[in-house]
């Protein structure tokens, strides 16, 4: 069966979704939103703790990055370079936004934007 979208798009979207779940699952659960991938994997795989499920999600993200990188090295579709870069940047942006969670020492998205746009390079 043929996939409706190039694998490059699917893998980038998967990285975004998994990082988003790692970053927002607790707030969404408190609001009563639908189950996140963390809850689904915990139930499906029989993990005894949320920590185990989160580690599994991180492993899935690592596998997805390997798949995305292999897609960039040996593309299975002929897409314009700008589209390939946009897809890669989607995954990169998701990781920058969500990877540090509530770490007080990590820079925020606002800090990163200010550093990129408003602070002069010295």
pLDDT in tens, 49-81: 888 989 999 999 999 999 999 888 887 778 888
At residue 21, the pLDDT reads 87
Tokens of 102: 């509530």
Two tokens at 29?
């659960």
Q: What is the pTM of this model?
A: 0.76
| Portion of the chain with pLDDT greater than 70, in percent | 89
């Amino acid at each position: 069966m043929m996939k409706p979208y190039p694998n490059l798009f699917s893998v980038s979207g998967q990285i975004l979704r998994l990082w988003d779940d790692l970053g927002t699952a607790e707030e969404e659960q408190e609001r009563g939103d639908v189950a996140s991938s963390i809850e689904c994997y915990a139930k499906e795989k029989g993990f005894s703790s949320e920590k185990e499920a989160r580690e599994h999600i991180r492993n899935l993200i690592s596998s997805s990055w390997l798949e995305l990188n292999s897609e960039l090295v040996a593309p299975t579709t002929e897409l314009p370079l700008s589209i390939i870069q946009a897809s890669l940047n989607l995954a990169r942006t998701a990781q920058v936004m969500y990877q540090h969670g509530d770490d007080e020492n990590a820079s925020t998205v606002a800090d990163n934007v200010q550093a990129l746009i408003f602070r002069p390079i010295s």
